[in-house]
Amino acid sequence: MGPTKNLSAVLMKKGDLQLVDRPIPEPGNGEVQIKIHSVGICGSDVHYWTNGEIGDFVVKAPMVLGHESCGTVSKVGEGVDHLKVGDRVAIEPAVPCRRCKYCKGGRYNLCKDIACCATPPYDGSLARYYVHAADFCYKLPDNVSEEEGALLEPLSVGIHACRRAGVSLGSVVLICGAGPIGLVNLLTAKSMGASKVLMTDIDAGRLAVAKTLGADHTVLVDTKDAKTLAEKIENLLGDAPNITIECSGAPPSIALAITATSSGGCVVLVGLGPSVVELPVVDAAVREVDIRGIFRYVNCYPTALAMVASGTVNVKPLVTHRFTLEQALQAFETTRTGADGAIKVMIKCEEN
């Protein structure tokens, strides 16, 4: 066992998040040890904390949370030649087997043996030190901050969704749900050339944020009647959206996504809610509205980094709150309640 002094935010069991001093992990072959700087809290971290599970993934043993992370390389394992001690890196949290047909075919996010930070049984990176596969760490240029490095993770979700949706010059895009994931989709869709983006939410505060980040229109969802909402959306956009990116997971919103999308268009399901949902599938079929899903992202980190480094996408305004690692519980509570307009809560993991 290595030396301790690795304060870590550990989910002991459902509802029981503790700060625990753990051993500092040593990097193995092809790995780097990272002194963690910033970790963003994701809705899934909060969900594991409050529910102890997401779908088939059940927390059965203590697990470190956190998968939106960035830090500085503090040790380099054998066989690593593209990183050195002192390099600041963003961490792509899900590491696949690299050998299966999905990995070899370039769709490594679909690998069945993928190991993702803070998805049971794998520990996350909300700690002082963390070890990760070096080829899933991306060196940051000097003009990219550690917070931006951590934000490459949700931004990658937006890039993958917009790629799967086929967003391009002149796309008219509807984004359902204005949480952090809806907002990164907004930033990405705009940077990929969407001419108009309309966002929906049930929360007026989140829609106000969407406006400040560049949404052309917003619609407050105050009825379950999809036809009424679809008409409102079409009137505001001047045309029905040819692309809809659903980022709430709420069943009525998924139904609206199909109803509101123009014939021949595409709906991408990002939000994940109940596993079985009643949807207007015949309407989708006869109007040739394609329905696609996404699972995290694949080959998106380099693009996300290039977009941020070049100033094409500004993710900084997403960060609304900052806490120290010692304040992790407060940080999780802030994300859970959305208190004080919280969008992205960052935890600073370096010792003061």
Q: Nearest-5° angle of CA 42, CA 47, CA 49?
A: 100
Selection from ligand 572, ligand NAD, Zn ion, none that 176 binds (CB < 5 to 8 A by kind) is: ligand NAD
Choose between 67 and 163: whose C-beta lies nearer to ligand 572.
67
Which residues in this chain contact ligand 572 in the complex, by CB under 6 A?
Answer: 42-44, 54-55, 57, 67, 119, 153, 157, 272, 296
19 near ligand NAD, judged by CB under 6 A: no
CB-based contacts of 233, cutoff 8 Å, min separation 6: 174, 198, 200, 219, 240, 241, 260
Candidates 13-21, 71-79, 120-128, 175-183: pick the segment binding ligand NAD (CB under 6 A).
175-183
- Looking at the Cβ atoms of 43 and 214, the one nearer to ligand 572 is 43
Q: Which does 20 bind (CB under 5 to 8 A by kind): ligand 572, Zn ion, ligand NAD, none?
A: none
**Residue with CB nearest Zn ion?**
42
The answer to whether residue 7 forms part of the interface with Zn ion (CB under 5 A) is no
In whole angstroms, what is the distance from residue 315 CA to residue 258 CA? 29
Rounded distance, CA 159 to CA 177, Å?
16
Q: Which does 96 bind (CB under 5 to 8 A by kind): ligand 572, ligand NAD, Zn ion, none?
A: none
Residues 47-86 that bind ligand NAD (CB under 6 A): none
| Total site size for ligand NAD, rule CB under 6 A | 28
- Token pair for 223: 């009825």
Cβ proximity to Zn ion, 108 vs 226, nearer residue: 108
Q: Where are the beta strands (DSSP E) in 150-303?
A: 172-176, 196-201, 217-220, 243-246, 266-269, 290-293
| Phi, psi angle pair for 50, to nearest 5° | -85, -30
- Residue ranges in 262-327 assigned as alpha helix (H): 281-286, 301-309
Peptide bond into 121 cis (omega under 30): yes
Contact residues for ligand NAD, defined by CB under 6 A: 43-44, 157, 176-182, 200-203, 206, 221, 247-250, 252-253, 270-272, 294-296
